[in-house]
């Protein structure tokens, strides 16, 4: 029986001289150190350190770190079970080592089991826990035997544990979307199927050919014709194709929603939460008629991000202002369109940002909803009659989506909802438009194989 004793961390320079040991793998060491920093409440260092120049090493670092964060709850539960421990808990760093090895055994089939165990165990002395090598080795060897015998079956665990989500998230989604959809959302959040990019040229094939010439495979997106799916994210961001502005990283659902509402823009079209500029740069290219776009963000550094993206895409920047969307420096009746891609819980983006599972709290919903109400009220005050508010979130929470819109319409009787069903589907859509339109006529995608979760609503101010 393998127990979890309280190993004493050895300080450098104390005790008898240590015997020479094989240097630990720098990739795994960097990944577990970054995970420990995150687990203590620090930032998630998802960009590989400069000391890992090899593309293979950088990719493995990202896989290990994000994998541990993505499957955190499941790995913790399995390490507890495999260690057969009693009341005592292993030190945080020792448990993280076991989680690192277990993630490789259970989720990285390309890593040989013996390498996953050996390389992980060798890290213990570098973390100051050389005496824990035997315990970590015992946990991982037990896991390896289960894997070889087919005994490792996570299907018996509760959904929240098996898919590594907080209980409160799963309970909310089960209540809102039903058991089957909730399970599909949780499972989709743990499948990172590559990075989706928007192609800036006349067709996606040209961008795919350019990426292929640089050794980067890109597949056409099955639902959005302007999009490509690229598995090698790091290589993509270092590519000439990316630096030259031929592609822009943007989820397919966001591309589709933006293309759908682009024909509605007229007059001064204000993007009140514009950073980092994905929707704004797309609208500059796709908006027609009299639309004159203006980008606004409350943070100066984020305005700089928008400008950098305009420069990289070789687009003429729109006017950009530093301002708060709750208090816009505009004359009432001047904007013909106001876009509000509001700050939110972002629970539709967990597949891309797995740390959100562990950093968001249910109490955050009310604070976000209050700020969203203020932004909507300000937009309603400023919008000219006949104009539209284009509201969107990347949240799955009803208080920020259909509940927010229902509350707005109850207070602002001079507005009416415009159904996406009454608009022409965008040319980039490959498939049936009805699949993305809710019963109330709003736009919504749930996390799945093709995209992440996004919500959109159109609110038109009645003409006087």
Average the pLDDT over 51-69 and give the result.
93
Q: Say whether pLDDT at 8 is over 60.
A: no
Q: Say whether pLDDT at 88 is over 80.
A: no
Distance CA 154, CA 91 (A): 25
In the structure, what pLDDT confidence band is assigned to residue 423 with cuts at 50, 70 and 90?
very high
Instruction: Return the H-helix or E-strand segment holding 300.
Output: helix 300-312
Per-residue pLDDT tens for 298-355?
999 999 999 999 999 999 999 999 999 999 999 999 999 999 999 999 999 999 999 9
Residue 13: its pLDDT value, please?
A: 43
Distance CA 107, CA 163 (A): 13
Alpha-carbon dihedral angle through residues 291, 297, 303, 308, given to the nearest 10 degrees: -50
Residue 269, SS3 per DSSP: strand
Q: Which tokens hold the place of 17?
A: 């001289």
Residue 7: its pLDDT value, please?
A: 44
Candidates 199, 273, 388, 394; catalytic one: 394
What is the DSSP track for 24-67?
PPHHHHHHHHHHHHHHTT-----SPPTT--SHHHHHHHHHHHHH
Domains and CATH numbers, the chain: 26-157 (1.10.940.10), 195-249 (3.30.70.1170), 252-461 (3.40.50.150)
**Residues 75/103, Cβ–Cβ less than 8 Å:** yes
199 is known as an active-site residue: no
Residue 19: its pLDDT value, please?
A: 47
Residue 431: its pLDDT value, please?
A: 85
Per-residue pLDDT tens for 163-185?
999 999 999 999 999 999 999 99
Residue with tokens 């950093």: 359
| Strand-pair partners of 415 | 461
Distance CA 115, CA 120 (A): 8
Q: Which tokens hold the place of 179?
A: 């058991």
Distance CA 438, CA 45 (A): 37
**Residues 270/338, Cβ–Cβ less than 8 Å:** yes
Q: Say whether pLDDT at 151 is over 50.
A: yes
Q: Does the global pTM surpass 0.75?
A: yes
Residue 22: its pLDDT value, please?
A: 60
**What is the pLDDT of the chain when averaged over all its residues?**
92
- What pairing do the DSSP bridges indicate for beta strands 335-341 and 292-297? unpaired
Average the pLDDT over 285-296 and give the result.
90
Average the pLDDT over 27-35 and give the result.
97
In the chain, % of residues over pLDDT 70 = 94
Q: Which tokens hold the place of 229?
A: 């799916």
Q: Say whether pLDDT at 85 is over 60.
A: no
What is the DSSP track for 76-144?
HHHHHHHHT--S----HHHHHHHHHHHHHHHH-TTS-HHHHHHHHHTTGGGGT-GGGHHHHHHHHHHHH
Average the pLDDT over 94-114 and give the result.
95
């Amino acid at each position: 029986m393998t127990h979890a004793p309280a190993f004493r961390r050895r300080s450098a320079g104390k005790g008898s001289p240590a015997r020479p040991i094989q240097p630990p793998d720098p990739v795994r060491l960097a990944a577990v150190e970054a995970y420990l920093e995150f687990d203590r409440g620090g930032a998630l260092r998802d960009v590989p350190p400069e000391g890992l120049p090899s593309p293979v090493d950088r990719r493995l670092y990202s896989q290990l770190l994000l994998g541990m964060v993505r499957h955190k709850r499941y790995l913790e539960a399995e390490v507890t079970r495999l260690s057969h421990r009693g009341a005592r808990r292993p030190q945080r760093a020792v448990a993280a080592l076991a989680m690192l090895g277990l993630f490789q055994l259970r989720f990285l089939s390309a890593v040989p089991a013996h390498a996953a165990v050996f390389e992980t165990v060798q890290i213990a002395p570098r973390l100051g826990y050389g005496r824990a090598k035997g315990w970590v080795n015992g946990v991982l060897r037990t896991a390896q035997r289960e894997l070889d015998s087919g005994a490792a079956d996570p299907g018996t665990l509760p959904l929240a544990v098996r898919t590594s989500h907080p209980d409160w998230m799963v309970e909310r989604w089960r209540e809102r979307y039903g058991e089957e959809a909730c399970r599909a959302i949780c499972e989709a959040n743990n499948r990172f199927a590559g990075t989706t990019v928007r192609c800036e040229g006349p067709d996606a094939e040209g961008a795919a050919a350019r990426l292929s010439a640089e050794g980067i495979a890109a597949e056409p997106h099955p639902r959005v014709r302007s999009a490509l799916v690229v598995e090698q994210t790091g290589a993509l961001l270092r590519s000439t194709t990316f630096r030259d502005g031929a592609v822009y990283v943007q989820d397919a659902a966001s591309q589709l929603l933006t293309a759908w509402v682009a024909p509605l823009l007229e007059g001064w079209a204000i993007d009140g939460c514009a950073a980092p500029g994905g929707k704004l740069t797309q609208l500059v290219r796709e908006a027609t008629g009299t639309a004159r776009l203006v980008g606004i963000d409350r943070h100066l550094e984020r305005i700089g991000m928008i400008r950098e993206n305009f420069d990289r895409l070789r687009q003429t920047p729109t006017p950009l202002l530093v301002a708060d969307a709750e208090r816009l420096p505009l004359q009432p009746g001047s904007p013909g369109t106001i876009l509000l891609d509001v700050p939110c819980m972002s629970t539709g983006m967990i597949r891309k940002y797995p740390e959100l599972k562990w950093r968001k709290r249910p109490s955050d919903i009310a604070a976000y909803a209050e700020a969203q109400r203020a932004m909507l009220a300000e937009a309603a005050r400023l919008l000219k009659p006949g104009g539209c508010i284009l509201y969107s979130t990347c949240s799955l929470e009803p208080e920020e989506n259909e509940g927010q819109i229902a509350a707005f319409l109850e207070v602002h009787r001079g507005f009416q909802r415009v159904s996406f069903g009454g608009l022409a589907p965008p040319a980039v859509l490959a498939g049936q438009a009805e699949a993305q339109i809710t019963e109330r006529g709003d736009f919504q995608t749930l996390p799945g194989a093709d995209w992440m979760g996004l919500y959109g609503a159109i609110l038109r101010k009645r003409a006087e």
